[in-house]
Chains A and B, each alone.
Chain A
Amino acid sequence: MATMTPKERVKRFFKREPVDEMPCFSGMGTVTVQAIDKMGIRFAQVHGSAEYLAGSAITGAEMFGFDGVVVPYDMCTVPEALGRGVSLYEDAEGILYPTVPSKWATLDEVDMPEDLNVIFEKARMPVVDEALKILVGHDDGKLAVGGWVLGPFTMAGQLIELDVLLKGLKKDKDRVEGFLSQMTDLVIAVAKHYEDLGVDYVNIREMGSGTDLLSPRMWKTLIKPNLEEVFSALQAPKINHICGSTDLIIEMMNDCGADAVSVDQKNNVAESRKKLGNDALILGNFDPYGTLVQMDPSEVDAVIKKCIDDGVDAVWPGCDIWPDVKEENMKAYVQAVRKYGKEPTPAVGRV
Chain B
Amino acid sequence: MGKEERREELLKELHEGVVEFEEDQVKEAAQKVLDEGLNAYDAVMNGLAAGMEEVGELYDQQEYFVPELLMCADALYAGLDILQPHITLEDLGDKPKGQVVIGTVQGDVHDIGKNIIKMMFEVAGFTVHDLGRDVPLEKFVEEQLRTDSEIVALSAMMTTTMMGMEKVIKMIKEKNPDVAIMLGGAPVTSDTADLFGADGYAESAGNAVQEAIKMISRLREMQNK
* Nearest neighbor of B109 in chain A, beta-carbon distance: A99
User: Does chain A have a CB within 8 A of B206?
Assistant: yes
User: Which parts of B170-218 form the interface with A (CB within 8 Å)?
Assistant: 186-187, 204, 206
Chain A residues with CB under 8 Å of B85's CB are: none
Asked if A212 contacts B66 (CB within 8 A), the reply is yes
- Please, what's the 1-or-0 string for A98-134, where 1 marks a CB less than 8 Å from any CB in chain B? 0111010000000000000000000000000000000
Check A99/B134 contact, CB under 8 A, given A89-B106, A167-B71. yes
User: Does chain A have a CB within 8 A of B39?
Assistant: no
User: Does chain A have a CB within 8 A of B70?
Assistant: yes
**A99 in complex: contacting residue of B108, B136, B164, CB < 8 Å:** B108
User: Which parts of A159-213 form the interface with B (CB within 8 Å)?
Assistant: 162-163, 166-167, 169-171, 211-213
Asked if A213 contacts B66 (CB within 8 A), the reply is yes
Check A87/B134 contact, CB under 8 A, given A92-B107, A171-B71. yes
Chain B residues with CB under 8 Å of A215's CB are: 62, 65
Asked if A319 contacts B159 (CB within 8 A), the reply is yes
Chain A residues with CB under 8 Å of B109's CB are: 99-101, 103
| Contacts between chains A and B (CB distance < 8 A), count | 70
Chain A residues with CB under 8 Å of B106's CB are: 89, 92, 96
Cα distance A288–B206 when bound, in Å? 23
**A169 in complex: contacting residue of B67, B107, B159, B186, CB < 8 Å:** B67
* Nearest neighbor of A87 in chain B, beta-carbon distance: B134
User: Does chain A have a CB within 8 A of B143?
Assistant: no
User: Interface of chain A, helix or strand or loop or mixed?
Assistant: loop
* Nearest neighbor of A97 in chain B, beta-carbon distance: B160
User: Does chain A have a CB within 8 A of B74?
Assistant: yes
**B160 in complex: contacting residue of A211, A214, A244, A322, CB < 8 Å:** A322
User: Which parts of B122-164 form the interface with A (CB within 8 Å)?
Assistant: 134, 136, 158-161, 163-164
User: Does chain A have a CB within 8 A of B220?
Assistant: no
Chain A residues with CB under 8 Å of B12's CB are: none
Check A289/B187 contact, CB under 8 A, given A170-B67, A170-B68, A171-B71. yes
User: Does chain A have a CB within 8 A of B7?
Assistant: no
Chain B residues with CB under 8 Å of A96's CB are: 106-107, 160-161, 164
Asked if A322 contacts B159 (CB within 8 A), the reply is yes
User: Does chain B have a CB within 8 A of A95?
Assistant: yes
User: Does chain B have a CB within 8 A of A94?
Assistant: yes
The number of chain B residues with a CB under 8 A from chain A is: 27
* Nearest neighbor of B195 in chain A, beta-carbon distance: A294
Asked if A97 contacts B71 (CB within 8 A), the reply is no
User: Does chain B have a CB within 8 A of A320?
Assistant: yes
Cα distance A324–B106 when bound, in Å? 17
Chain A residues with CB under 8 Å of B67's CB are: 166-167, 169-170, 213-214, 218
B58 → chain A closest CB, angstroms: 11
Cα distance A215–B68 when bound, in Å? 10
- Please, what's the 1-or-0 string for A67-101, where 1 marks a CB less than 8 Å from any CB in chain B? 00000000000000000000101001011110111
Asked if A166 contacts B66 (CB within 8 A), the reply is yes
Asked if A163 contacts B107 (CB within 8 A), the reply is no
The CB with the most chain B CB atoms within 10 A, among A163, A288, A324, is that of A163
Chain B residues with CB under 8 Å of A94's CB are: 163-164
- Please, what's the 1-or-0 string for B92-128, where 1 marks a CB less than 8 Å from any CB in chain A? 0000000000000011111010010000000000000
B136 → chain A closest CB, angstroms: 8
* Nearest neighbor of B163 in chain A, beta-carbon distance: A94
Cα distance A244–B160 when bound, in Å? 15
Cα distance A167–B70 when bound, in Å? 7
A219 → chain B closest CB, angstroms: 10
A174 → chain B closest CB, angstroms: 16
Chain B residues with CB under 8 Å of A322's CB are: 159-160
B155 → chain A closest CB, angstroms: 14
Cα distance A322–B186 when bound, in Å? 15
* Nearest neighbor of B68 in chain A, beta-carbon distance: A170
Asked if B66 contacts A214 (CB within 8 A), the reply is yes
* 19 extra interface residue pairs, beta carbon distance < 8 Å, beyond A96-B107, A99-B134, A244-B186: A92-B136, A94-B163, A95-B160, A97-B161, A100-B109, A101-B109, A101-B134, A162-B110, A166-B70, A166-B112, A167-B71, A170-B67, A170-B68, A211-B65, A212-B66, A212-B186, A212-B204, A213-B66, A214-B66
Task: Jot down 25 A-B pairs with beta carbons below 8 A, ordered by A.
Answer: A89-B106, A92-B106, A92-B136, A94-B163, A95-B160, A97-B158, A97-B160, A99-B134, A100-B109, A103-B109, A162-B112, A166-B70, A167-B70, A167-B71, A167-B74, A170-B67, A170-B71, A212-B206, A213-B65, A213-B67, A214-B66, A218-B65, A244-B186, A288-B159, A324-B163
